[in-house]
Amino acid sequence: MDPVGQGRVHPQGAPGSAGSASVSAVPVDPSNRLMLLDSASMYFRAFYGVPDTFTAPDGTVVNAVRGFLDMTARLVTTYRPARLVACWDDDWRPAFRVALLPSYKAHRVAAATNPADNIEETPDLLAPQVPVIADLLAAVGIARVGSPGFEADDVIGTLAAADAGPVDVVSGDRDLIQVVDDARGVRVLYIGRGLAKLEVLDQAAVQVKYGIPGRAYADFAALRGDPSDGLPGVVGVGEKTAAGLIQRWGTIEALVAAVDSGDPALTQRPRLEAARDYLAVAAQVTRVRTDAPLGPFDARLRPRPADPQRLVDLVDRWGVESSVNRLLAAVQTAAG
């Protein structure tokens, strides 16, 4: 949980350790906008969207590094957050979700590895770039926050729920649509089709696009299914039917209760009955957590790098001067 006023979290323990944050509500302040980056979503898209001809002086490919920095610079320039957090996947496939649904992201476990090690399939040229991104964020002074045993989605859910707003969530993952909340100015900057085709998703946009309130997206996705996350969905229930069920009953729990009561209005009862075991756990898998334990951090953007000499060394090592300069200029402007 973030940012009260100055953008700080004050739970017990060190960053990433167990503990609970205490957050005091403050009035919505447009000048105190918080931007939350779904970092993995961004660096995967950067890797596939930027040519691998971009290399460091020693020939190491740095396309994801450059793309991530440039995307962040453009986002900061366009939306002018006062606070920025790069949310991290400390656990891309948390045990609590796998225990509920073993198929969860199972197809993305790296081949030729021990499944118990839970290693994500990552392109060989991307994997070494991820720590470089982390190093550069630290040197610039951009907060990077994860939580052991939780995904970046859960970190985002926790920070978005705790903040007074406004909050911009940057992701290409539609699951995060569930955090949209007009009352506090929480919206999703959806980059699923790239930054050039970014969609600003507030409640009205979600309603037009999916026919449901944003808060119901997790249950909608569980009903419809999502092969990219290993969610089978309910057989015979597609997007339109799932939206209709959510419009009428609101939640999976209410749908199961309607199945149990024999509600005559529930024409999909046989399909839902057949999927009862799945429905008993699906929503717990698709709903982002809002209680991920987070350590202290400062989300405020500052006009100067946190570690100038370290940043110079990293720029020289990886040959990313132009991208870093663009990010620094964006951060300096946003920081005022």
Beta bridge partners of residue 103, listed in sequence order: none
The answer to whether position 50 is within a domain reads: yes
Instruction: State whether 198 and 296 are in the same domain.
Output: yes
Q: Determine the Cα–Cα distance for residues 304 and 310; give it in Å rounded to an integer.
A: 13
**CATH code of 246's domain:** 1.10.150.20
Q: Which domain holds residue 194?
A: 30-214+289-335
Structural domain includes residue 19 = no
In a domain, 41, yes or no: yes
Same domain, residue pair 90 and 176: yes
- Burial (0-12, 13-18, 19+ Cβ within 10 Å), 76: buried
Asked whether residue 224 falls in the same domain as residue 260, the answer is yes
Q: What DSSP string runs through 309-331?
A: HHHHHHHHHHT-HHHHHHHHHHH
89 and 141 belong to one structural domain: yes
pLDDT of residue 163: 97
Q: Are residues 252 and 324 in the same domain?
A: no
- Dihedral angle computed from the Cα positions of residues 83, 89, 91 and 92, in that order, rounded to the nearest 10 degrees: 140
**197 shares its domain with 327:** yes
- Collapsing DSSP to helix, strand or coil, 297 comes out as coil
Residue 298: inside a domain: yes
What's the number of domains the chain is made of? 2
Q: How far apart are CA 2 and CA 11, in angstroms?
A: 10
For residue 320, is it within any domain?
Answer: yes
Whether 203 and 265 map to the same domain: the answer is no
Residues 198 and 239 in one domain: no
Same domain, 170 and 233: no
- Residue 197 maps to which CATH number? 3.40.50.1010
The whole-angstrom separation of Cα 26 and Cα 63 is: 40
- Residue 50 in 3-state DSSP? coil
The predicted pLDDT at position 118 comes to 82
- The reply to whether 91 and 128 lie within a common domain is yes
pTM for the model stands at 0.90
On whether both 268 and 300 belong to a single domain, the answer is no
Instruction: Indicate whether 22 belongs to any domain.
Output: no
Domain co-membership, 184 together with 52:
yes
Per-residue pLDDT of the chain (336 residues; tens, 9 = 90+): 233 233 333 222 222 323 333 333 345 677 899 999 999 999 999 999 999 999 999 999 999 999 999 999 999 999 999 999 999 999 999 999 999 999 999 999 998 777 777 889 999 999 999 999 999 999 999 999 999 999 999 999 999 999 999 999 999 999 999 999 999 999 999 999 999 999 999 999 999 999 999 999 999 999 999 999 999 999 999 999 999 999 999 999 999 999 999 999 999 999 999 999 999 999 999 999 999 999 999 999 999 999 999 999 999 999 999 999 999 999 999 998
Asked if residue 227 belongs to a domain, the reply is: yes
Q: In sequence order, which ranges of the chain are alpha helices (DSSP H)? A: 39-49, 63-79, 95-100, 129-140, 152-162, 203-210, 217-224, 239-249, 252-261, 269-274, 276-286, 308-318, 321-335
In a 3-state reduction of DSSP, which class is residue 260? helix
In a domain, 8, yes or no: no
User: What 3-state class would DSSP assign to 135?
Assistant: helix
